[in-house]
Amino acid sequence: MSYLRTAWYMAGWSNELGPNDQGSAGFTREICGRRIFFYRLQNGTPCAILDRCPHRFAPLSLGTREGDMLVCPYHGLGFGPDGKCTRNPFSDRIPAAATIPTFAVEERHGIVWLWGGEPDAADPALIPDFSFVPDAPGWRTITGYTLMEANYEYGTDNLLDLSHIEFVHKGSFAGQGVIFAGEHSVQQDGDTLHSNWWMPGIAPPSVAQGVFPPDAVVDHWLEMRWNAPASMRLNIGVCPHGAPREAGFELPQAHILTPANEHQTHYFWSSSRPNETDNVQLDEILRAMFRQAFDEEDKPLIEAAYANIKANLQAGGDFWAEKPLSLGIDQGGTRARRLLEKLIAQEGAGENQTATHKTA
């Protein structure tokens, strides 16, 4: 399958890289079908290198570190952070072609981002804003991760259509029918999509329990922002009915999907709150609730739905060939699929032009 190359993919949380000191272990993650090792240099700079020695393909991540040199665990070839072989224990000569692909990587707001294309073309200005993720005075964020056995665009469908809350999350977020009372709108701003639900004049949703009395009348919004390939931010807001939004509260969440390969997806999530920021017990209660919602409610359903068509996809079909019904509520996911197709096609056209130009 084709992946968008000129985009930033979330590789992991910063704390997976370990601290800013020598010998932090780093982590390996498959992204777009490539197993990549992420680690820190001694000066703290994050690096990304294909986790495959060019000799007999051992993972460098299983090796040792000498300063900033990665030493292969199998026969001891050493590689610098630029992927070039710098040591051959069997000869003074460095073998030709002893170079490992490296990738552009950026660490921002507690997230490690991988650029999907040529490192020289990496543009950090294109990283979507997730500045709410790190803990800040008066704010506490919990994070989580799960691996989904489904293509990442099927996860996007789920997140851009929050009407599923009413059916899938009866055991956690308890929709209470509020979605049906609301208006759904999808807007595109450049290459950013917004899939928004606005639910005015309703009883306080579960997220507002304890903030508003049960008999209060409130306005409630769920606003999902999407950036390619599948990096989403959800703002969950509640305010007194008719009041400015600032009179209530808004809780931001990250929902970031990264394709491991065509059939598996890394799902990273976070949730921030402005209350009881030092309450570690509350952290655990919320973590358990989100795990139930994402791991036990969303994930099995998305995986089961995907399993229903996976064989057709493997036989060469695609999502559209399955003739999915449109219910309107799925407009956000549909727009995201179309936009991603367009961006990937544009990349292909650009590369063809470049190739034509080069050969002219």
Question: Using CA atoms in the order 288, 294, 300, 301, what is the torsion angle rounded to 10 degrees?
Answer: 140
Which one of ligand FES, Fe ion, none is in contact with 13 (Cβ closer than 5 to 8 A by kind)? none
How many other β-carbons are positioned within 10 Å of the β-carbon of residue 290? 20
CB 24 within 8 A of CB 107: no
Tokens of 100: 């490992």
Which residues have C-beta within 8 Å of that of residue 102, sequence separation ≥ 6? 47, 48, 49, 50, 81, 82, 83, 119
Q: Count residues contacting ligand FES (CB under 6 A)?
A: 9
Question: Which one, 73 or 200, has the nearer CB to ligand FES?
Answer: 73
* 344 secondary structure, DSSP code: H
Which one of Fe ion, ligand FES, none is in contact with 298 (Cβ closer than 5 to 8 A by kind)? Fe ion
Q: Give, as ranges, the residues between 46 and 75 that touch ligand FES (CB under 6 A).
A: 53, 55-56, 58, 72, 74-75
Distance of closest approach, residue 29 Cβ to ligand FES, in angstroms: 20
Distance of closest approach, residue 302 Cβ to ligand FES, in angstroms: 38
Question: Which one, 56 or 170, has the nearer CB to ligand FES?
Answer: 56
Residue-wise DSSP of 23-78: T---EEEEETTEEEEEEE-TTS-EEEEES--TTT---GGGSEEETTEEE-TTT--E
Q: Which has the closest alpha carbon to 52: 67, 30, 68?
A: 30
* Residue 85 is a binding residue for ligand FES (CB under 6 A): no
Q: Is 187 helix (H, G, I), strand (E, B) or coil?
A: strand
Distance of closest approach, residue 155 Cβ to Fe ion, in angstroms: 10
Question: Which one, 71 or 159, has the nearer CB to ligand FES?
Answer: 71
Dist. CA 203–CA 215, nearest whole Å? 7
Distance of closest approach, residue 222 Cβ to Fe ion, in angstroms: 11
Distance of closest approach, residue 276 Cβ to Fe ion, in angstroms: 24
* Residue 298 is a binding residue for Fe ion (CB under 5 A): yes
Q: Give, as ranges, the residues between 167 and 226 that touch ligand FES (CB under 6 A).
A: none
Distance of closest approach, residue 58 Cβ to ligand FES, in angstroms: 4
CB 68 within 8 A of CB 84: no
Which one of ligand FES, Fe ion, none is in contact with 74 (Cβ closer than 5 to 8 A by kind)? ligand FES
Which one of Fe ion, ligand FES, none is in contact with 58 (Cβ closer than 5 to 8 A by kind)? ligand FES
* Residue 330 is a binding residue for Fe ion (CB under 5 A): no
Q: Which has the closest alpha carbon to 37: 56, 77, 65?
A: 65
Which residues of this protein are in contact with ligand FES, per CB under 6 A? 53, 55-56, 58, 72, 74-77
Which residues of this protein are in contact with Fe ion, per CB under 5 A? 298
